[in-house]
Amino acid sequence: MARNAIGNGKGIRARARDCRNRGLKPGVAANESSLYEQPDLYEAAFGSVADAEESAFYMSFFAARSSVLVSACGAGRVSRALAESGLNVSGFDLSSEMVERARRNDQASRYTVGNLIDPPFPGSAFDGAIVPLLGFAELSDEADARRSAFALVERLRTGGVLLLEVPVCHNHRKLQGLSETFAFEGGKYQFDYQGAEESNDLFTVMHFEISVTKGKKEARRSGMVAVYTPAGVRTLMESSGLCDVRFHAPYHRGTCCTNPPSDCLRAVVAGLKKP
């Protein structure tokens, strides 16, 4: 795979190694309080359960299916909504704080701490698997992304559906300096796309920073996010054993997508496990 350095800083592999050597979780700088270790703030911004519209969006992929693996499930926002819609749900997340909150919010489902690059629940033949809201895009190393996609497909039965929500963009320069912000009761959420770091045939890796403030409380997260090209995410999914790969506009953006998306910030990309 071709790999081009874009930024002037040290490469992502070196940064990840640096993080590990200093005993830090990826994406968390020494002086930061990570958003993903503060479920209270996360839920203040995003809610503790997906609303009816978002839930219906995901259920449109899972109709007539019964078991679903929700990966990077966070505090269980989406997994809980799917369980309440009648699915048999298993979920995992890297953050033990988030998993604890998911268990508390949704006692009908099973939750465990786990990593996307080596997902738990081996041998389960799930009808569906989903990585909602950019968890997958935080795998900014190409080998990790490939390994994770392959392992998630392995968790499916033949014909099972995998949904990945990732940023998809033909031209990462459009993202440079772009922000997503919204206000919630008593607080504000902000996501900034910062400079590009590195590019390969699948994606461009962008620096990002999230901040959530509520009253005097504040949580930040900075790290790297993989912004896929349409061809890149299609190739990733097809080479992991999926067919019928299609792009969908996420429920919260009405403006894109064609197939493949022409000018799109986020897409939910779906594929079916091949026999």
Ligand X SMILES: C[S@@+](CC[C@H](N)C(=O)[O-])C[C@H]1O[C@@H](n2cnc3c(N)ncnc32)[C@H](O)[C@@H]1O
For residue 198, state whether it binds ligand X (rule: CB under 6 A).
Answer: no
**41 is an interface residue for ligand X by CB under 6 A:** no
Q: CB count, 10 Å around CB of 238?
A: 15
Name the residue nearer to ligand X (CB basis): 65 or 147: 147
Count of residues in contact with ligand X, rule CB under 6 A: 18
Interface with ligand X includes 74 (CB under 6 A)? yes
Closer Cβ to ligand X, 73 or 237, answer by number: 73
State yes or no: residue 111 binds ligand X (CB under 6 A): no
Does 261 bind ligand X (CB under 6 A)? Our answer is no
Query: Would you give the distance in Å from CA 39 to the centre of its chain?
Result: 16
Nearer to ligand X, 88 or 115 (CB): 115
Distance between CA 212 and CA 221 in Å, rounded? 9
Phi then psi for 221, rounded to 5 degrees?
-145, 125
Out of 127, 138, 142, 197, the residue judged to bind ligand X by CB under 6 A: 138
Distance of closest approach, residue 116 Cβ to ligand X, in angstroms: 4
* Sole binder of ligand X in the list 72, 145, 212, 269 (CB under 6 A): 72
Q: Scanning the structure block, which residue is given the tokens 């490469």? A: 11
β-strand partners of 168: 228
Q: How many Å apart are CA 186 and CA 215, to the nearest integer? A: 6
Contact 18, 30 (CB under 8 A): no
Is residue 81 within 8 Å of residue 60, measured between CB atoms? no
Q: How far apart are CB 129 and ligand X at their closest, in Å?
A: 12
Between CA 69 and CA 88 the distance in angstroms is 9
**Which residue sits closest to ligand X, CB atoms considered?**
74
Q: Is 132 in the site for ligand X (CB under 6 A)?
A: yes
Task: Kindly tell me which of 161 and 260 has the beta carbon lying closer to ligand X.
Answer: 161
Q: What is the largest CA-CA distance in the chain?
A: 53
**Which are the contacts of 210, defined by CB distance < 8 A and separation ≥ 6?**
35, 189, 190, 191, 192, 220, 221, 222
User: 73 vs 257, which CB is nearer to ligand X?
Assistant: 73
Q: How far is the CB of 180 from ligand X (least distance, A)?
A: 12
Which residues bind to ligand X, rule: CB under 6 A? 36, 46, 72-74, 77-78, 93-95, 98, 115-116, 132-135, 138
